[in-house]
């Protein structure tokens, strides 16, 4: 059967994340339902990663197989008619038989947006973390640079509830080693934007990094403490988890 690749954008505000969960509205569930309405086929599209509840995407990627001989342009239009307006298919195309949205990933980029103004406009509120505390951005930049390279990110990883429910018997120690290719902050008018690119990310990892960098910006920790936090491999050593609403899956590379 033909293998398909979709690129999606979505507002994650009203969804309980990407992955199908009984009794909850999810991106994967809505996409699967739309595909079935359009083609009559029941498939479970695989995403490049499982964005959490409230997290947005500018370019999520999904793959699945279909027997229906439908042209890509027709599937593209039909899915956007069948999906809620908070989920849009940006492109639909045939993929190589061995392509898999998650297993074929080479790198991903996430972006986190902090609003620094006095009053956050209501049309921005669901897409930013409104934070007008004084912040030393230079210290946040120094802290962010320290996570580049290959590290064990256990200190920045939340327990994955989906993984624990799938396991039976003694759990093998998780492999929390990831490589971060770039990690930096930029300022654009009233926005402070963190961009991170890596070969993979753990559950809540980006949001836990953000909480720690904010601690550095508020001078609750020194930027160089990030190295010690990494070495401790203990979640309590790092900062709090930043809100989901400021996080975007920016791009996926294959």
Cα(60)–Cα(55) distance, integer angstroms: 11
Per-residue pLDDT, 68? 87
Place of tokens 């996409």: 31
- List, for residues 14-41, the tens digit of each pLDDT value: 999 999 999 999 999 999 999 999 999 9
Catalytic residues: 52
- pLDDT confidence bin for 172, thresholds 50/70/90: low
Give the phi and the psi of residue 228 in degrees, each rounded to 5: -65, -40
- Helix 205-217 crosses helix 225-232 at what angle (to 10 degrees)? 150
Kindly list the structural domains of the chain, giving each domain's residue range(s) and its CATH number in brackets, ordered by start. 3-95 (3.30.70.580), 107-253 (3.30.70.660)
**What number of residues does the chain have?**
254
Residue ranges of alpha helices (H) inside 13-114 are 27-39, 72-82
- Mean pLDDT, residues 35-51: 95
Mean pLDDT of the chain: 94
- pLDDT confidence bin for 167, thresholds 50/70/90: very low
Per-residue pLDDT, 132? 87
């Amino acid at each position: 059967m033909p293998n398909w690749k979709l690129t999606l954008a979505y507002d994650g505000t009203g969804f309980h994340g990407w992955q199908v969960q009984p009794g909850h509205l999810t991106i994967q569930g809505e996409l699967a339902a739309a595909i079935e309405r359009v083609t009559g086929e029941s498939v479970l599209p695989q995403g490049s990663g499982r964005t959490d509840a409230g997290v947005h995407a500018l370019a999520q990627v999904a793959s699945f197989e279909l027997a229906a001989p439908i042209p890509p342009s027709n599937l593209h239009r039909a899915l956007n008619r069948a999906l809620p307006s908070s989920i849009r298919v940006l492109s639909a195309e045939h993929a190589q038989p061995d392509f898999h949205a998650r297993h074929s990933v080479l790198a991903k980029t996430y972006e986190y947006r902090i609003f620094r103004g006095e009053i956050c406009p209501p049309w921005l509120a669901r897409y930013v973390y409104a934070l007008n505390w004084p912040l030393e951005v230079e210290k946040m930049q120094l802290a962010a640079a320290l996570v580049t390279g290959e590290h064990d990110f256990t200190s920045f990883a939340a327990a994955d509830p989906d993984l624990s429910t799938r396991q039976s018997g003694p759990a093998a120690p998780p492999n929390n080693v990831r490589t971060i290719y770039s990690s930096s902050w930029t300022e654009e008018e009233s926005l402070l934007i963190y961009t991170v690119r890596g070969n993979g990310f753990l559950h809540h990892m980006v949001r836990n990094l953000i909480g720690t960098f904010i601690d550095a910006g508020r001078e609750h920790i020194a930027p160089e403490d990030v190295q010690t936090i990494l070495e401790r491999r203990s979640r309590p050593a790092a900062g709090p988890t930043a809100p989901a609403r400021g996080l975007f899956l920016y791009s996926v590379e294959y």
